[in-house]
Amino acid sequence: MNGNTKVKACAAAMGLFLAAGCSGGGEDAERTGAGAQTPVPATGAAAQVQQQFEQVVDAVLPSVVKIETNQGEGSGVVYDGQGHIVTNAHVVAGARQIRVTAASGGSALDADLVGAFTPDDLAVVKVDGGSLKPAAWGDSSKAEVGQMVMAMGNPLGLAGSVTNGIVSALHRTVSTQGEGDSQGSTIADAIQTSAPINPGNSGGALVTLDGKVIGVPTAAASDPGAGGAAPGIGFATPSNTVKRIVPQLVRTGEVSDSGRAALGVVARTIVDPQSGQRSAVAVVEVTEGGGADKAGIEAGDLILSVNGTATPDQTALSSVLANMKPGDVVTVEVQKPGGSKEQVKVTLGQLPGDN
């Protein structure tokens, strides 16, 4: 899965159905009589790894919460001792009511939305009262492919669930599709993991074996051929992005320093009415004084590519820009209303907050 990846965000808006497959006895019941298999206790390195997993779960799970809204369920991670909780923007998008329950149980607490930054799919909610334990946030730039990790959250409504796997890849650029009140996001530097991520895991914790949160599970890859999620391919927003965006949301409810590049346009995808294929991005509005404006890009122009990478839709454009920084100079190919094409140099600005 090289390059940009379209994925499905993993908030849950469904119930959990369990198949009736439990045995009531007979040959499938546990054997405790003569001839029963002798238990084999874990020893050596295996015992150490098992013990470490247990210690990490004991340490981190109290910092993971279940988030319920009037639209569905998701997860969250306690950010500080003042009741601020990090989750995904799509988990709380359009929510009229938000309630938080600790993974260890207890009474649900009412929460208020502090702010959200949709491009990175991050949001902060706040509860008053309770005794929630802040998580320890790690440095995602030190993550290594092959590193063992655990995903903690609320998959399918099962609060306090833990899965494990490895860091499968780093520096992915993934795009989630808009759904309901969620606009969809394009996340740069995402961590790919084999730890299973299911609906409801969104907003939870991707944790290393030293008990540090290095990512927020956000989405699972979908397999168009199978018509569902691709097993063992999930993505998390890196903790360093959380540490850049969340403090701003906590302070003001908005993001003024996103660190994300922007052309300085409002655009929409053009779809060919005959083929149904997406062909280009049309400029609807140009930000006065922005990079596109200074380069001569106008409303009505079509953006065909950036630095030679085709931009047949807004997702492709967002994916290209997600890997760039404000101040970068890029070559943008545009098509004018009359049909002529030209290449212009654009100095990228900064993507503003969406609050």
Catalytic positions:
90, 121, 202
Answer yes or no: are the C-beta atoms of 10 and 198 closer than 8 Å: yes
Q: Which residues does residue 73 pair with via DSSP β-bridges, in sequence order?
A: 12, 68
CB 195 within 8 A of CB 206: yes
- Token pair 């908005």 in the structure block, residue: 254
Token pair listed for 261: 């590049």
Give 192's Cβ-side CA count (13 Å radius). Answer: 22
Q: Judge contact between 61 and 54, C-beta under 8 A.
A: no
Q: What are phi and psi of 180, to 5 degrees?
A: 65, -125
Query: Which is nearest to 348 in space by CA: 267, 281, 264, 268?
Result: 264
Structural tokens at position 340: 């002529």
Determine contact, residues 334/303, Cβ cutoff 8 Å: yes
Residue 28 identity: D
Residue 130, classified by CB atoms within 10 Å of its CB into exposed (0-12), middle (13-18) or buried (19+), is: middle
SS3 321: helix
- Segment holding 125, helix H or strand E: strand 122-127
Q: Give residue 102's Cα distance to chain centre.
A: 21
Q: In 3D, which of 143, 187, 190 has the Cα closest to residue 171?
A: 190
Q: How far apart are CA 150 and CA 210, in angstroms?
A: 11
